[in-house]
A and B are shown apart, each in its own frame.
Chain A
């Protein structure tokens, strides 16, 4: 399916979607979004690219094999969960660090929960791309 309109629009859309997917991931803890939604949006971006261009080009743009991304996501989630074990708390307990916290605000929140959610993002992103690429390439 080679359509000039689609190809052109895709270039713009893919970039936008990717940025938005990371945005959805980061804001997820306070507003609608999160790892699942972010991962789905990111996967959609690459699927769009794969349809507009080709799976090979999408793979090339991705640099890493999507199944590796999925497994890396699992690993990240596990690390996010294990951090609390090192701190002597049960598996998957959230640990928080507030940079520059003051009276009025909590400052910049960094947490193992974010690592975990990033793991979710990567697992969903990689898992879905693995599925779609496989179905698209092998059929």
Chain B
């Protein structure tokens, strides 16, 4: 894909590359140094972020966040090192580095946050940056579609999660996670527990791609391979798992939690494993195995016993190590041979032996073969599954068995078969990868082996503290490679046999699955498209109704809303009142005549078909208005009104002569509906005015202006003092509006005459 762009000469990706490698490497070292301290107990620190909202940028570093932080920075280092070679000559490589580091920071912030709101912010940072990363090859439509899909699914989940966070925070009385973690009993007994649980799980399940929200994850393969490696192993999809693990002391331990998680997790795990058999693209096979891992993790977090949590945490580590290695390995293969088709690739170990070793280590761990860490993980999962009470034990054990067997087969498809046998023809001639690309997979594969041989190391430093953090209790954890001859070992052997059979027959299974899929009515991806299309159609339909481009309808809706809302509110509140002062209709005959004149003028405007008569009617009304101002002691206003009236008449007359005549009386229908709207608005205005005039009058501002106008502002005309001194900022805004209106009108009118000389020959005489 990078070949489409002009090559840019950069050594190791240039400065962007070095920064991107050093950043996670330094952080990794830093966290590694803190490890002994965290093994003893959680560390918290922080400062106020948004004090007004009580949001704190505080850090909670316990076993769980430590394990995540190490995975994020450690695998991050491998991924950045890898991508400086994989994408280093891509013209947008620096942009890629920005996205990747932003993603890393978001993920780190998420796992370290000790504040629910901060957690949410970082959660969304990962959503947005994953969108940018998945859509990195933005010139491909499929890439953009996948990115948008991931954004919408995880973004929607994030919003639901926010609601859950807010409810949880308000019940607990604090948004600080370390304080909420101690209030588990109170929250589980709270009536809102069910709501919180569903809101949280909606967020976690979308992020961690549980069925039925799983479809975005295989599509996210559109991202460059190192991004896939990162998204699938240590980050993004693990964010949902992290959330469930983090909230386990608060939300976990109930029947609802138990059954929802083990059912969704189990179904996801098995469904995904089966789907992985269907794929031919080895990257897609791996994508589905990630779903399987996520389902398994969800299941074990839901199971909630000490053994289950420990098995879950162990499997988290196992999966991160082998998944990152495998993805990076696939990237090398793809880079080197130009294909990822499982049906084509054969005999690569001859051309690329080191890649083969890394792949073999990772795949053995994935298949759960001793002495790799994957074997230890599988043993503990079986033990934990059988340890559960009642039906749960059967379900979890069965699901684990099915998923593990299928995983064994998938491991074979991805990392065994392509390297065995005779070297097959590929688009490019296969050759070994460069050291920056090989370093990550080799180290990660080696870790799977070392940790498998000495499981006490990860047990003491990572799994134990993480398990304690998730459980909210303190247990000593000892991991063993060899657990003796027991039921778990027996199940492991059965798994290998089943897995081997599946692997031998995987081509037949794939064909059957493909045929089944073709007939299956359920297609999540197509369903997603239909959902989006439905949204678009709905939006189009709604816009067509609300914004149909008809000015009349807009105004009718606006005025009706005004009349109904304002009038309705007054009516419901019983606010319409007529004060005793208002009852007397007494007015001077001059006043009566002015008012009647205005009403007559307005009726003239409405009823005439002559433009000039209408303008005259407007003039009558305006003069009446000015006279009212004069009668009631507003000389400044009256003068302004009269002057503006003169200007309006001049302007309207100037323009009117060049505009078409009004429609003749025969076309001037009386619109009954419009009249009703108009009358209601008028009536509401009058009633509101009467209610207002009946109420008491607050003279505070007026008194202030009257008392200070001369002593402080040195003016005897209070109106003018208000305009240019007390409220001068308003006036400043208003003259700005006048100037803008003038300039806007000038821009509208300029050049009309020269353009329209052909069709306009209206009289120049005004």
Contacts and interface: CB of A to CB of B under 8 A. Distances in A.
Decide if A and B touch, CB cutoff 8 A.
Answer: yes
B539 interface: no
A131 interface: yes
B753 to A, nearest CB: 5
A102 interface: no
Nearest to A136: B654
B724 A31 contact: no
Contacts of A51: 650, 766
Contact of A30 (B640, B715, B729, B738): B715
Nearest to A35: B724
B753 A131 contact: no
Given A113-B724, A116-B724, A70 B739 contact: yes
Interface stretch (B117-125, B543-551, B742-750): B742-750
A139 B647 contact: no
A33 B100 CA distance: 66
A32 B639 CA distance: 9
Given A28-B717, A29-B720, A30-B715, A131 B732 contact: no
Interface residues of B, number: 45
30 contacts: A1-B766, A29-B721, A30-B716, A31-B716, A33-B639, A36-B636, A36-B723, A40-B640, A40-B647, A43-B647, A44-B646, A44-B647, A67-B739, A70-B738, A70-B743, A73-B739, A77-B735, A78-B732, A92-B729, A92-B732, A94-B714, A120-B724, A123-B735, A123-B736, A123-B738, A127-B738, A130-B746, A134-B749, A139-B749, A139-B752
Contact of B743 (A40, A67, A73): A67
B34 interface: no
A29 B746 CA distance: 32
Nearest to A70: B739
B256 to A, nearest CB: 59
A92 B742 contact: no
B741 A138 contact: no
A32 B715 CA distance: 11
Contacts of B715: 29-30, 113
Interface residues of A, number: 52
Contacts of A132: 647, 650-651, 654
B394 interface: no
Contact of A94 (B635, B725, B750): B725
B716 A135 contact: no
Given A106-B714, A135-B651, A139-B655, A126 B720 contact: no
B705 to A, nearest CB: 14
Interface in A88-138: 91-92, 94, 96, 106, 109, 111, 113, 116-117, 119-120, 123-124, 126-128, 130-132, 134-138
Interface string B635-671: 1100110011011001100110010000000000000
A105 to B, nearest CB: 12
A37 B643 CA distance: 8
Contact of B739 (A92, A96, A123): A123
Contacts of B765: 1
A77 B714 CA distance: 19
A113 B651 contact: no
A19 interface: no
B631 interface: no
Interface in B67-115: none
B735 A28 contact: no
A56 to B, nearest CB: 13
A104 B725 CA distance: 25
Interface in A54-86: 66-67, 70-71, 73-74, 77-78, 81
A126 B653 CA distance: 21
Interface in B751-766: 751-753, 762, 765-766
A34 to B, nearest CB: 4
Interface in B272-315: none
A41 interface: yes
Nearest to B634: A32
A113 B741 contact: no
Interface string B687-727: 00000000000000000000000000111110111011100
A108 to B, nearest CB: 12
A47 interface: yes
B654 to A, nearest CB: 5
B487 interface: no
A64 to B, nearest CB: 14
B635 A32 contact: yes
Q: Could you tell me the dominant secondary structure of chain B's interface residues?
A: helix
Contacts of A137: 753
A66 to B, nearest CB: 8
Nearest to B635: A32
B732 A81 contact: yes
B728 interface: yes
A119 to B, nearest CB: 7
Contacts of B745: 130-131, 134-135
B183 interface: no
Looking at B635, B715, B725, B735, the one whose CB has the most chain A CB atoms below 10 A away is: B735
Contacts of B720: 28-29, 33-34, 117
Interface of B: 635-636, 639-640, 643-644, 646-647, 650-651, 654-655, 658, 713-717, 719-721, 723-725, 728-729, 731-732, 735-736, 738-739, 741-743, 745-746, 749-753, 762, 765-766
Contacts of B636: 32-34, 36-37
B368 to A, nearest CB: 73
A67 B640 CA distance: 21
Contacts of B736: 74, 123
A37 B640 contact: yes
A34 B650 contact: no
B724 A29 contact: yes
Given A29-B721, A30-B715, A92-B725, 15 more contacts: A29-B720, A32-B717, A33-B720, A34-B717, A34-B719, A37-B639, A74-B736, A91-B729, A117-B724, A119-B735, A126-B742, A130-B746, A131-B746, A134-B745, A135-B654
B723 A34 contact: yes
Looking at B728, B736, B745, the one whose CB has the most chain A CB atoms below 10 A away is: B728
Nearest to B752: A138
B635 A128 contact: no
Contacts of B647: 40, 43-44, 47, 128, 132
A99 B719 CA distance: 25
Contacts of A119: 735
Nearest to B644: A40
Contacts of B743: 67, 70, 130
Contacts of B729: 81, 91-92
| 6 nearest CB pairs, A to B | A123-B735, A130-B742, A30-B716, A40-B643, A138-B749, A127-B742
A130 B741 CA distance: 10
Contacts of A96: 714
A131 B724 contact: no
A104 to B, nearest CB: 15
Given A51-B766, A74-B735, A139-B654, A67 B752 contact: no
Contact of A138 (B719, B732, B750): B750
A41 to B, nearest CB: 6
B717 to A, nearest CB: 5
B632 to A, nearest CB: 14
B752 A70 contact: no
Nearest to A24: B639
Contacts of A127: 735, 738-739, 741-742
B739 A139 contact: no
Given A30-B715, A34-B636, A81-B728, A135 B742 contact: no
Contact of A67 (B724, B731, B746): B746
Contacts of A117: 720, 723-724
Contacts of A120: 723-724, 731, 735
A116 B734 CA distance: 13
Interface in A1-45: 1, 28-37, 40-41, 43-44
A123 B762 CA distance: 32
B728 A116 contact: yes
